[in-house]
Copies of this chain bind each other. A is one copy, B any other.
Amino acid sequence: MDLAHSLSAAGRSRSLSERFRALRSASVSLVSPLSDADATIQSMPDASPAKWHLAHTTWFFETFLLRDHLNGYGLFDERWPYLFNSYYEAEGERHARAARGMLSRPSLDEVLDYRAHVDAAMEGLLERDELADLIALGIAHEEQHQELLLTDIKHALWRNPLGPAYGVLPEGGVDRGLGDQGWIEHPGGIARIGHKGPAFAFDNEGPSHRVLLEPFALSRRLVTNREWDAFIADGGYRTAGLWLSDGWAWVQENAIAAPLYWREGEAFTLGGWRDRDPDAPVTHISHYEADAFATWAGLRLPTEFEWEVAARDSDPSAGVQWDGGAVNPSGTDQLFGDCWQWTRSAYLPYPRFRPAEGAVGEYNGKFMSGQCVLKGASCATPRGHSRATYRNFFQPYQRWQFTGLRLARDL
C-alpha cells in the first residue's frame, strides 16, 4: 500500500472539513492490509491494537464533539466509551491499558461501522466556527494515533516468527548521499522558543518564551547505520563509561547489543526483513543508546532549544524538507520525515504553562517525569503533523518508535 500517500493526504487539504474527511479516510486506509486478528493483538503494554487506535480516535470525536455539541446525538454503543477511553480520568472508568489485546469484540468491521456512524454525524458540526479548534485538536490527536498505529503494528508483526510484511515506508529515511557530517554553527544568544500564533499546535508547544543559548553547532545530517556499526564494533555496548548510569543498568538487564529490530545484516521493517542500508539513518534506538553514542563520539545530544532554532528556517510547512531529496538551504538536513531525534532535554512544561480545563486539558496537560524530548518527525508522521515547535516525548528506554539522533557540540 502507498503509506506515504495516506500519511500526506490530510496535510494537503485546505479547509477543516476537507482535512477532517481526508484524515478519517487515511486512518481507514492504514488498516487495509490488516486482518481482524492483526488489528486485535497487542504486542506489549506500550502498544495498542490497530483496531483500538481506530476506535479510540473515533471515541474522541464522539465524546468531545458529538456528545457535547450535537443535539440529540445517541452513542453508537453505550458500552464502548469504557473500552476506548485511553486515560481521561474526567471521563470515568476505563478498560485497563494492558488488556486492550483482549478485545476480539467488537470486530474490525464493527469498528469501521462505528467510524462511519460518527463521521456521518460529524458532518453536522464541521462548519461550526466555534468548534473549529476542538475539531483541529481531534485531527491532530488522530494524526498522532496514525503514527502509533504504524509503530505498534510493526512491533506486533516483528514478534511473529513468520515476520509478515505490512506495506512499505522509507523507514528512517533513505540514503540521500549526504556524505560527510558537516557542522552548522549557531552563535547563540537569546532565542524565542515555542508556538505562537493562530495555527494549530498542542498546548505543550507553548507558551512562547525566551531562552539563552550558548554558541553551538549541529550536525548537518543524522547518524547512520554505518556509524552505528562502528560504535558496536568498538565495544560501545560493553563500555560502562559511555552510558548514563540508568542506561548502563538497562543494557545489562536486557542484554542490549544492537538497535531494536536488528539481526545479522538485516532489520525488520513494515515490509518485512530487509538488508540494512549503511548510509540510511539509524533508527529504533533508545535515549540511552543515543546518549552513549554521542559520548563515544566525543560529542553530545542537542537540547530541544538548539534543535528548534536550527530547524526554524526549515519548517516543513514550507514544504522544503518533507518530500526528501532537496537539500535545505540553511544546511541542516533530515529534520523532518526521517526519524524522531532524541535531545538531551527532559520533558517539562514551559514557563507559565497552564493546562486547559476539563478532559481535553487532561490530554494536553499530561506530564510525566523522566521523559525526554524528541524533535523532528519520522517517516510515519503524517505530513501535517510536522513543525519546528513540535515536542514529542518518550521514556529513555523506549525504542519502538522511529527514533534516531543528530549530534551537537559546543563552540
Contacts and interface: CB of A to CB of B under 8 A. Distances in A.
Interface of A: 35-41, 43, 79, 82-83, 87, 89-90, 95, 99, 101-108, 156, 159-162, 164, 190, 209-212, 214, 240-241, 244-247, 287-288, 344-346, 348, 351-352, 362, 366-370, 372, 396, 410
A306 B25 CA distance: 49
Contacts of A244: 367-369
22 contacts: A35-B104, A37-B37, A37-B39, A37-B40, A37-B105, A40-B104, A41-B104, A79-B162, A95-B161, A99-B159, A102-B156, A104-B160, A105-B160, A190-B212, A209-B214, A210-B214, A212-B212, A214-B352, A244-B367, A369-B372, A370-B370, A370-B396
A107 B245 CA distance: 31
A370 B89 CA distance: 25
Contact of A161 (B36, B41, B43, B82): B82
A369 B209 CA distance: 25
Q: Which of A36, A43, A89 gathers most chain B CB within 10 Å?
A: A36
**Can you list the 4 inter-chain pairs with the closest CB atoms, starting with the nearest?**
A346-B346, A370-B370, A212-B212, A37-B104
Nearest to A369: B396
Nearest to A397: B369
Given A41-B41, A102-B156, 12 more contacts: A35-B37, A35-B105, A37-B105, A40-B104, A79-B161, A90-B241, A101-B101, A102-B160, A105-B160, A212-B212, A247-B369, A344-B348
Contact of A369 (B37, B104, B370): B370
B79 A246 contact: no
A372 B371 CA distance: 12
Contacts of A362: 241
Contacts of A372: 369
B351 A214 contact: yes
A361 to B, nearest CB: 9
A43 B102 contact: yes
Nearest to A99: B159
A104 B101 CA distance: 12
A89 B240 contact: yes
A211 B209 CA distance: 13
Contacts of A103: 160
Contacts of A104: 35, 37-38, 40-41, 156, 160
A84 to B, nearest CB: 11
Contacts of A41: 40-41, 101-102, 104
Nearest to A241: B89
Contacts of A164: 105
B410 A107 contact: no
A64 B37 CA distance: 30
Nearest to A347: B346
A380 B275 CA distance: 49
B105 A162 contact: yes
Contacts of A105: 35, 37-38, 160, 162, 164
B368 A246 contact: yes
A35 B367 CA distance: 39
B159 A102 contact: yes
